[in-house]
Structure 1
Amino acid sequence: MVGFKNRYMVVEVNLNPNRDQLKDDPMTLTPYNVTKAIKDCILLNFGECGLASSVASFQVKYVNSITKVCIIRASRDEYQKVWSAITMMRSISNIPAVINLLDLSGSIKACKNAALKCEEWKFEQRKVVAGASLSAEVSRQMQGCLDKIKVLEH
């Protein structure tokens, strides 16, 4: 018996890319926000049939609201539709956003490794920019996100 084939995408979300990078984000990125924005974009660009065929395996598996990295699962047959919808998205919850695909993989294990590398690099950059003003709460939240990504399964 052959298992259901999926594709996993690691994406980076840049909310309001024209704003000053030192200001706080206008919203907290959540799996619900990302899922709704992608489904709305699929519906707009591919219609109801496109949405119905894409939604069977579609899931936002992981979202880090600190580094803005997400892992998205889609079926092998429909991942290109999800990928193109991600590329065409211009906003999440009416806030301008630019979304970059960082990695595409056929297994959750390879996807986790790519996401962990990206997360660690982005958090190190954040530490450098924030310097001594980085709170213990943010460090604790980031460690929780790294722990959560390590235990991801299908």
Structure 2
Amino acid sequence: MVRFKNRWLLVEFITVSDDRPAVSAPSSFDAKHVHAALRQSVLSNFGDTGWGAVGGSMTVKYFSPTTHLCIIRVARDQHHLAWGAVTLLTSINAMRVIPHVVHVSGTIKHVQLAAIKHNRHVVARFRAIAKTPEQYHAQDSYVAYLAQSTREIEALQE
């Protein structure tokens, strides 16, 4: 029996406005928009042959509209093509983005651990920008978000 081998890409899409990166702006895109943008990036940069190679295996397994963190599954043999398409993205749903590939893994478990850790870093960045005092961290809305996103990420199945 031969098993299907995957690579998992953990990508953060940093939204960019005209004056500075928008950290806490509401998301105007979701997992479907990310998949459509990836498809368009593969088609425009690698053509129909590239999409034929990567299209059947590439799926967006998780997307957080709060932190713009995304987990993408792709076949192991074509992960370099998908990675290239991700880094060549400039916009998703008419919103300018800078893609940042945070982690690449061969197992879902390791990408889950990296996603949870990265979510904590992003929330810490949000708190620093909001200049929230340290004593109020237990009461802010990010505590509920971290708990919910951790449950969602841990529930992902291959």
Interval containing the TM-score (normalised by the shorter chain): 0.7 to 0.9
Kept in 1, the 8 Å contact 2:10–2:101? The answer is yes
Q: Which residue of 2 aligns with 1:63?
A: 63
Q: TM-score, normalised by structure 2?
A: 0.86
Distance 1:64 1:107 in 2: 20
Distance 1:151 1:27 in 2: 23
Q: Which residue of 2 aligns with 1:148?
A: 152
Distance 1:75 1:53 in 2: 9
List per-residue Cα deviations over 1:5-36 (Å, max 9, x = no partner): 00001111011155445675263331111101
Distance 2:144 2:28 in 1: 17
Letter in 2 for 1:52: G
Q: Unaligned 5+ residue runs, structure 1?
A: none
Q: Which residue of 2 aligns with 1:80?
A: 80
Alignment of 1:1-16 (within 5 A): 1-16=1-16
Kept in 2, the 8 Å contact 1:12–1:69? The answer is yes
Q: Unaligned 5+ residue runs, structure 2?
A: none
Q: TM-score, normalised by structure 1?
A: 0.88
CA drift at 1:128: 3.3
Letter in 1 for 2:93: S
Distance 2:52 2:65 in 1: 28
List per-residue Cα deviations over 1:104-143 (Å, max 9, x = no partner): 1000001111111101121122233321698855543442
Q: How many residues align?
A: 154
Q: Which residue of 2 aligns with 1:31?
A: 31
Letter in 2 for 1:147: R
The SS at the match of 1:78 is: helix
Distance 1:67 1:19 in 2: 20
Distance 2:23 2:108 in 1: 34
Kept in 1, the 8 Å contact 2:61–2:73? The answer is yes
- Give the alignment's Cα RMSD to 1 decimal: 2.2
Greater CA deviation, 117-126 or 17-26?
17-26
